[in-house]
């Protein structure tokens, strides 16, 4: 019999008088961005938390109806700005499913690599910031330093450091060159040291352990009922990973494991993320070793992707294709139909419900954002905890405000 | 120009088809209108049978997981589409077999209303609030149907197709809070 978290016991009038209200946010040093919580407190114990979101609402979904499938990649980057490549992979995965095209093997491997780099980058920030919020500053610096090296990879592969905008319909912007591969290797080498440093600093740290263990417990039944996915669900024992269970791209070709826990508290979520980073490194290592040669983009006969400069300037077909895709009243055709596709993002199922109207503009671009759903769980798992536990629970859910509001 | 598929388009997996078979066995005439596209199976249901079908999917077909819930506005949608203006989709997943189906329910102006699935999946809480906020579709039985992304004093529904990209000037008419009165 699953416990219903949502039935809150009514306070008697005497207890109600004793509570007081505290505004946590909209900006708080412990939250990455704008989150506002209205807390009803009994002393320092949280009786009720009411999240208010919408401070960053930028109309990303409305913009999706006015930008074409290639242009919109710059917007999806900004949804989860902690791991932009994964958003790009998710978006173009959906568009390609709509169009019914299959990527070249090299492109699939490249997308796996950048997606997993994004996952490492996201988990580094999440675990590092969890440590920072609970007073362990050094671990955060180590984590952030490695993120810089991942940004170096983005910079080398696309020219942009923070929002690469690297994928295209049917391919990617440029092929990997040797310098990109070198920088990825450097990330993989540094990761070993960073992981070992972080584990030495945190895994046996009494303060850190005591503030994470048993805090913000989420049972397995509630995790399923509340639509949780990703590390949050896996820390509660829901053993589901779309990379394994609904494979996409080249994931079936890699050997990796899906870490999970049963406890469902902040510590479990932290440890699942730490373990997932190691698995991501395993995937990248295999992908680098087996990286197929060949084109990254679909051939121009597909009439989907913008041809590279050499093809554009040196062949008639390339020139025509470039013109057709760039001119505002041209572009490719899509089926008049709709499709839902999801990938395993760093925080969970990252899906798009895409309604197409025959043009290269989406009719409806609905994002299924993991943070949004995990934040709706927050008021239920924070109940009866102390005020100081908020930062531990918020950090362990990895809430990204831009993804909340879209 | 057309996007010619290079390979065979993905077809719904056996696990997804099994859900449909189980649903048809569970309630007669549950899914009179089913379409398949790529690996999606879409089941269109009438709003008054929505809860019945979703309950059957959850309890008899093992779709314990509500993956996603969202709305769409089909005002002036091209093609031969006839039907209600709005549609709300529910993506349900069977966590054991990993099959999934999309259930769609249509509602129309002037008072788009659907029953809330809060009793089945509490996780729909914020997703239904967002559909309400963006499209004005009300969910009957939702315990706390408030605006979630837009401010409370906002009157329009921004993701409707007849709402202009630049807004209607609502932003300029918001009450301004000064430091003294905040």
SS (HEC) of B28-48: CCCCCEEEEECCEEEEEECHH
Hey, CA dihedral for A151, A155, A157, A162, is it positive or negative?
Answer: positive
Please indicate whether, in this complex, the C-beta atoms of B7 and A102 are within 8 angstroms of each other. Answer: yes
Q: Please, which residues bridge with residue B91 across strands?
A: B68, B102
User: By the 8 A CB rule, do B138 and B145 touch?
Assistant: yes
CA–CA gap between residue A96 and residue A180 (Å, rounded)? 25
Please indicate whether, in this complex, the C-beta atoms of B3 and A353 are within 8 angstroms of each other. Answer: no
- Mean pLDDT for B52-78 is 89
Q: What is the pTM of this model?
A: 0.89
Contacts B130 to A, Cβ<8 Å: 372
Tokens of A393: 């629970």
Q: Report the residue count for chain A.
A: 406
Which one of B3, B8, B13 makes the best mutation probe of the A interface by having the most chain A beta carbons within 10 Å? Answer: B3
pLDDT tens, residue by residue, B116-169: 999 889 888 899 999 999 999 999 988 888 888 888 888 888 888 888 888 888
Residue burial B59-81, b: 16+ Cβ < 10 Å; e: rest: eebbbbbbbbbbbbbbeebeeee
* Residue A13 C-alpha, separation from nearest chain B C-alpha, in angstroms: 22
Nearest Cα to Cα of residue A251 among A93, A108, A121, A119: A108
Residue in chain A lying closest to B99 (CA) = A246
CA–CA gap between residue A353 and residue A340 (Å, rounded)? 4
pLDDT tens, residue by residue, A186-245: 999 999 999 999 999 888 888 888 888 888 889 999 899 999 999 999 999 888 888 888
Residue A336, pLDDT above cutoff 70: yes
* Residue B110 C-alpha, separation from nearest chain A C-alpha, in angstroms: 21
pLDDT at site A2: 58
Whole-angstrom CA distances from A190 to A50, A149, A168, A281 are 41, 9, 30, 11
- Mean pLDDT of the residues in chain A: 87
Please indicate whether, in this complex, the C-beta atoms of B126 and A246 are within 8 angstroms of each other. Answer: no
Peptide bond before B110: cis, by omega within 30 degrees of 0?
yes
Please indicate whether, in this complex, the C-beta atoms of A353 and B98 are within 8 angstroms of each other. Answer: no
Contacts A340 to B, Cβ<8 Å: 40, 68, 89, 91, 102
| Helix/strand/coil for A253 | helix
CA–CA gap between residue B144 and residue A209 (Å, rounded)? 36
């Amino acid at each position: 019999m699953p416990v219903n978290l949502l039935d809150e016991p009514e306070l008697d009038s005497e207890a109600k008088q004793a509570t007081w209200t505290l505004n946590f946010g909209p900006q708080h040093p412990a939250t990455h961005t704008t989150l506002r919580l209205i807390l009803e407190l009994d002393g320092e114990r949280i009786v009720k938390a009411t999240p208010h979101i919408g401070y960053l609402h930028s109309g990303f979904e409305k913009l999706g109806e006015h930008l074409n499938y290639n242009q919109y990649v710059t917007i999806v980057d900004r949804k989860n700005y902690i791991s932009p490549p994964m958003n790009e992979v998710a978006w173009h995965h959906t568009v390609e499913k709509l169009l019914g095209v299959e990527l070249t093997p090299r492109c699939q491997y490249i997308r796996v690599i950048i997606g997993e780099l994004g996952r490492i980058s996201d988990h580094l920030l999440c675990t590092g910031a969890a440590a920072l919020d609970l007073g362990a500053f050094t671990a955060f610096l180590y984590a952030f330093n490695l993120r810089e090296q991942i940004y170096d990879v983005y910079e080398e592969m696309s020219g942009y450091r923070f929002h690469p905008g690297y994928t295209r319909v049917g391919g990617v912007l440029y092929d990997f060159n040797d310098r990109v591969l070198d920088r990825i290797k450097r990330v993989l080498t540094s990761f070993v040291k960073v992981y070992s440093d972080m584990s030495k600093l945190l895994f046996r740290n009494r303060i850190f352990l005591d503030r994470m263990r048993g805090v913000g417990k989420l049972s397995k039944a509630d995790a399923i009922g509340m639509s949780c996915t990703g590390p949050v669900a896996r820390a509660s024992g829901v053993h589901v990973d779309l990379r394994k269970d609904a494979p996409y791209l080249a994931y079936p070709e890699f050997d990796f494991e899906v870490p999970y826990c049963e406890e469902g508290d902040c510590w479990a979520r932290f440890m699942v993320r730490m373990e997932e980073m190691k698995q991501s490194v395993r995937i990248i290592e295999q992908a680098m070793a087996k990286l197929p040669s060949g084109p990254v983009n679909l051939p121009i006969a597909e009439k989907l992707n913008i041809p590279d400069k050499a093809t554009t300037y040196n062949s008639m077909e390339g020139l025509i294709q470039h013109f057709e895709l760039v001119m505002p009243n041209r572009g490719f055709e899509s089926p008049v139909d709709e499709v839902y596709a999801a990938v395993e993002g760093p925080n969970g199922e990252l899906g798009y419900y895409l309604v197409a109207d025959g043009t290269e503009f989406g009719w409806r671009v609905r994002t299924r954002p993991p943070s949004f759903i995990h934040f709706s769980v927050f008021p239920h798992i924070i109940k009866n905890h102390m005020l100081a536990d908020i930062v531990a629970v918020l950090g362990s859910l990895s809430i990204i405000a831009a993804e909340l509001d879209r | 120009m057309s996007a010619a598929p290079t390979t065979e388009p993905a077809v719904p997996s056996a696990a997804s088809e099994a859900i449909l078979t189980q649903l048809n066995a569970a309630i007669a005439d549950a899914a009179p209108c089913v379409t398949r596209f790529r690996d999606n199976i879409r089941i269109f249901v009438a709003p008054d049978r929505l809860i019945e079908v979703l309950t059957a999917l959850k309890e008899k077909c093992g779709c314990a997981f509500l993956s996603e819930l969202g709305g769409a506005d089909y005002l002036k949608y091209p093609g031969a589409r006839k039907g209600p203006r709005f549609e709300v989709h529910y993506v349900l997943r069977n966590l054991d077999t990993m099959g999934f189906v999309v259930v769609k329910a249509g509602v129309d102006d002037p008072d788009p209303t659907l029953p809330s699935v809060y009793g089945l999946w509490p996780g729909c809480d914020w997703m239904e609030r967002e559909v309400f906020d963006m499209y004005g579709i009300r969910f009957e039985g939702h315990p706390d149907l408030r605006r979630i992304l837009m401010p409370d004093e906002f009157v329009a529904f921004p993701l409707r197709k007849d709402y202009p990209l630049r807004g209607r000037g609502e932003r300029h008419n918001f009450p301004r809070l000064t430091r003294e009165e905040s």
